[in-house]
Amino acid sequence: MAAAGGSRYLLTIGRWRRSFGIAPQFRALAALVPGVSHVDNKSDFLGKRPHRRHPGILQLSCVRLPQALADAAQLLLLESAMPNMEKQVQALTNYLWSRHLPVEPEELQIRAVLLEKKILENADSCQTEKHHEEVLRTLRRTTYHWQELSYNEGLSLVYMAARLDGGFAAVSRAFHEIQARLPEFQPQTLMDFGSGTGSVTWAAHSTWGQSLREYMCVDSSAAMLELAEKLLKGGSGSGMPCVPGVFFRQFLPVSPKVQFDVVVAAFSLSELPSKADRTDVVQTLWRKTGHFLVLVENGTKAGHSLLMDARNLVLNGKEKSPLDPRPGFVFAPCPHELPCPQLTASKPLACSFSQAYHPIPFSWNKKPKEEKFSMVILTRGSPEEANRWPRITQPVLKRPRHVHCHLCCPDGHMQHSVITARRHGRDLYRCARVSSWGDLLPVITPSELPPSPAQDAPES
């Protein structure tokens, strides 16, 4: 089913067909996605590659931590001898996954005014003090109480056991998106805000280890920084680091002249106590971005909403970097800069993705897992430079002789497409059949539709 606005596109396409006479397979493709005309074969679309390796394939196989990192994590946990580690890991995982954003003071004030008005309508107006007490009691009972986590040595170890492997998998998938689509991009510097256990550094080294020469890890927790450094040195504080060029600090670089090729904030923005703090951090991170700003959060409604706020802040921001005044646009996952159709739907959903990974082989952690996450990758330049293929936003349903794909389209709408070889051509059908959740479907919007005199004339 096409989202709102699809009928307008299909009507336009129908008039275009009557006026110019499109081949049957192109007619079917035009009805597939609003504004889409054909498979993207303008520049040797497949060449000699099989369909299973079409250029929209972006999914990674099951990710595994570097052996040195897994060994160091196991050694540190063994040396700590912390009791009930499995229960602590499960409790922290559940807490982080169910966490909401903190309630803003403005929203709390609005709730208080509405509650007070409702209570006064049904009570004696003389008992004002009791009314205020009742409002406060109701607010305490119904308001989510967000708490900042203080990562000391013990909690840092629990976080490492709970999130090191899943965080590595999610960030590896985000970096793979850049590497697969821009193999010529070879960054030299990277900054990780809220670096925690250092999983971003390890993922970046696995992706661009040949070119990266500087990794700046920023985290407010001294215990986390110490743990990340130990992981780099094989579990001790005196060994040689497995990844050269890594620097640790507790505060962001102040100088406006310092920029990094890649700036990352993975599972960090949700740790900030207010929207104002997130706004300041995102603006700072964007100023320090030379090429790519990579933001990753849990694949929940709260995580997705937070990332869309950051996305809108960069896209609508008037503040320009003194080193690079180019505006920003969305590199992934959105094929557009319009409002997210997942959030504006009647039933909002989180735009999330899934990455399989092998967990650290602790006693309770044996089977492969799936990391569900949301991401947004922003870059500098013009949107015309980006690939605008529709993004597959849910698992692909493969049925006999047809495939169901849920797509986020370049026109800013969601579309449920049923693709068959008979209606849509062998190439697109086979590409869709081998595609997965998170891949791009290789169909394009024509740069210019032929003008139709029939569009302005009443139909007979």
Residue 201 near residue 217, CB atoms below 8 Å? yes
pTM of the model: 0.84
Residue 375 near residue 353, CB atoms below 8 Å? yes
Mean pLDDT score of the chain, rounded to an integer?
A: 83
Q: What is the pLDDT of residue 321?
A: 65
Residue 32 reports pLDDT greater than 60: no
Q: 377 pairs with which residues across the strands?
A: 294, 332
**Other residues' Cβ atoms within 10 Å of the Cβ of residue 39:** 22
Q: What is the pLDDT of residue 189?
A: 97
Residue 219 reports pLDDT greater than 90: yes
- Judged by phi (left if over 0) then psi (alpha if -120 to 50, else beta), residue 28 lies in alpha
Q: What is the pLDDT of residues 327-363, one digit of tens each?
A: 899 999 999 999 999 988 888 889 999 999 999 988 8
For residues 238-243, give the mean pLDDT.
Answer: 90
Residue 213 reports pLDDT greater than 50: yes
Give CA–CA dist 202/152, Å, rounded: 22
Q: What is the pLDDT of residue 126?
A: 56
Tokens standing for residue 253: 């670089």
For residues 161-180, give the mean pLDDT.
Answer: 97
Indicate the burial class of 264 (C-beta count within 10 angstroms; 0-12, 13-18, 19 or more).
Answer: buried
Give CA–CA dist 287/321, Å, rounded: 5
Rounded to the nearest angstrom, the gap between the alpha carbon of residue 179 and the centroid of all alpha carbons in its chain is 16
Tokens standing for residue 238: 């005196």
Residue 45 reports pLDDT greater than 90: no
List the beta strands (DSSP E) in 8-73: 38-39, 63-64
Element at 316 (helix H, strand E): helix 301-316
